[in-house]
């Protein structure tokens, strides 16, 4: 009887510890229950296509996508994550010279440079997609001139010969939700840069250590607010919430995973100065986030850049992950 009592006590203690450890996991797994406006859902997407240039695309001064590679790309990307409330939104397109095959970049934008952006609002349903907002289309302006093949009086990129061109504009989003996000956060550009950098690096280390230690509780506590807002932005259900969490859990499956040292980086501000991250500055990894994980998958080494953006919700308070 005494041995049975000790055994039951051990099981009880283990069970309590397990429940305590899973508290945040349970909490973050239930965020779909707080998602509103599913019947009024509208998802904004940016379709973009580039040729003969590198680029960055931002919505509300938050990075949607960047491309610093050879050739061109044509893809579609969701932007609800960058939209905090209905009404007027801003977009920014930054064009840079194209990357060469040797890894360096040419000096200026060329006559064949082009970029097209199409933003529209859709609703996903079983068996199809309904377009609810036709949105807008932007294409880079051209002038008449002589192209590289010698043809005269033909359309060529208006900004050719320049090292950088930026286009900005606005559009209206008809999302039904309103979120705080980074809108009321502190302007980090006004803080001491050296102290801020130390704080950002410390947050990177805490985040990375949680991955290495397979510490789900700490990791999910750090991303809770981010995941809660992102779930609302896309009207997530229980399945999609779990799929998102599994993207974090996958790193726990690699016993050989390491967090690579931060190198060749700078602080980059977004959200009109209210959001900060670390970005690589060397040509090889230009446009990539500074934090990288490395692990073995099958017969190959895999390196991934982790996207982590921080904000300071209250003056004097700590940095928190927001997107």
Identify the domain boundary among 154, 173, 192: 173
Residues 186 and 225 in one domain: yes
Per-residue pLDDT of the chain (323 residues), as tens digits, is 444 444 444 444 334 444 444 689 999 999 999 999 999 999 999 999 999 999 999 999 999 999 999 989 999 999 999 999 999 999 999 999 999 999 999 999 999 999 999 999 999 988 889 999 999 999 999 999 999 999 999 999 999 999 999 999 999 999 999 999 999 999 999 999 999 999 999 999 999 999 999 999 999 999 999 999 999 999 999 999 999 999 999 999 998 999 999 999 999 999 999 999 999 999 889 999 999 999 998 888 999 999 999 999 999 999 999 99
Q: Any idea which residue has 């064949």 for tokens?
A: 112
- Domain contains 33: no
pLDDT for 11 equals 40
Residue 6 within any structural domain of the chain: no
Q: Is there a single domain that holds both residue 55 and residue 164?
A: yes
Whether residue 123 sits in one domain with residue 225: no
Residues 151 and 215 in one domain: no
Q: Verify that 50 and 154 share a domain, yes or no.
A: yes
186 and 153 in a common domain: no
Whether residue 21 lies inside any domain: the answer is no
Q: What span, in angstroms and rounded, lies between the C-alpha atoms of 144 and 18?
A: 70
Looking at the fold, whether 238 and 131 belong to one and the same domain comes out as no
Q: How confident is the model at residue 22, as a pLDDT?
A: 65
Do 79 and 125 lie in a common domain?
A: yes
Domain co-membership, 111 together with 202: no
Count of structural domains, the chain: 2
**Residue position matching structure tokens 């939700």:** 177
In a domain, 208, yes or no: yes
pTM summary value? 0.90
Provide the pLDDT for residue 216.
95
In this structure, the answer to whether residues 95 and 158 fall within a common structural domain is yes
Look at residue 281 and tell me if it is in a domain.
Answer: yes
- Cα gap 69→91, rounded to integer Å: 22
Domain end marker among 123, 147, 173: 173
Cα angle at 309 between 304 and 312, to 5 degrees?
155
Whether 3 is covered by a domain: the verdict is no
Domain identity same for 209 and 261: yes
- What pLDDT score does 59 carry? 98
Q: How far apart are CA 317 and CA 304, in angstroms?
A: 30
User: For residue 116, which of 98, 153, 142, 134 has the smallest C-alpha distance?
Assistant: 142
CB 154 within 8 A of CB 145: yes
Residue 221 lies in domain: 181-321
> For position 203, which CATH number holds?
3.10.450
Q: Smallest Cα–Cα separation from 89: which of 184, 222, 185, 183? A: 183
Establish if 22 belongs to a structural domain.
no
Asked whether residue 197 falls in the same domain as residue 79, the answer is no
Is-contact 83 175, C-beta < 8 A? Answer: yes
Question: Is residue 257 a part of any domain in this protein?
Answer: yes
The per-residue pLDDT for 15 is 41
* Beta pairing, strands 43-51 & 74-78: antiparallel
Last-in-domain residue among 173, 201, 234: 173
């Amino acid at each position: 009887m005494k041995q049975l009592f000790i055994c039951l006590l051990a099981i009880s203690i283990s069970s309590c510890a397990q429940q305590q450890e899973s508290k945040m996991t349970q909490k973050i797994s239930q965020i779909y229950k707080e998602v509103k406006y599913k019947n009024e859902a509208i998802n904004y997407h940016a379709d973009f296509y580039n040729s003969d240039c590198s680029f960055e695309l931002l919505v509300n001064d938050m990075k949607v996508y960047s491309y610093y590679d050879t050739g061109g790309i044509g893809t579609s990307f969701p932007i609800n994550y960058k939209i905090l409330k209905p009404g007027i939104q801003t977009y920014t397109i930054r064009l840079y010279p194209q990357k060469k095959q040797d890894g360096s970049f040419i000096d200026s934008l060329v006559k064949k440079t082009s970029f097209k952006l199409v933003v529209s609002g859709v609703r996903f349903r079983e068996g199809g997609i309904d377009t609810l907002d036709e949105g807008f289309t932007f294409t880079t302006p051209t002038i008449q001139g002589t192209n590289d093949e010698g043809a005269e009086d033909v359309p060529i990129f208006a900004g050719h010969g320049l090292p950088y061109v930026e286009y900005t504009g606005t559009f209206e989003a008809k999302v039904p939700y309103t979120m705080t996000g980074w809108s009321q956060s502190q302007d980090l550009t006004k803080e001491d840069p050296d102290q801020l950098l130390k704080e950002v690096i410390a947050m990177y280390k805490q985040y990375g250590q949680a991955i290495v230690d397979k510490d789900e509780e700490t990791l999910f506590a750090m991303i809770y607010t981010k995941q809660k807002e992102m779930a609302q932005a896309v009207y997530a259900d229980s399945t999609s919430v779990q799929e998102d969490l599994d993207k974090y859990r996958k790193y726990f499956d690699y016993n050989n995973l390491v967090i690579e040292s931060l190198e060749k980086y700078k602080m980059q501000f977004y959200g009109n100065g209210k959001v900060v991250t670390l970005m690589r500055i060397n040509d090889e990894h230009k446009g990539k986030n500074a934090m990288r994980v490395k692990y073995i998958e099958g017969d190959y080494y895999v390196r991934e850049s982790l996207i982590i953006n921080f904000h300071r919700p209250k003056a004097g308070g700590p940095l928190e992950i927001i997107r």
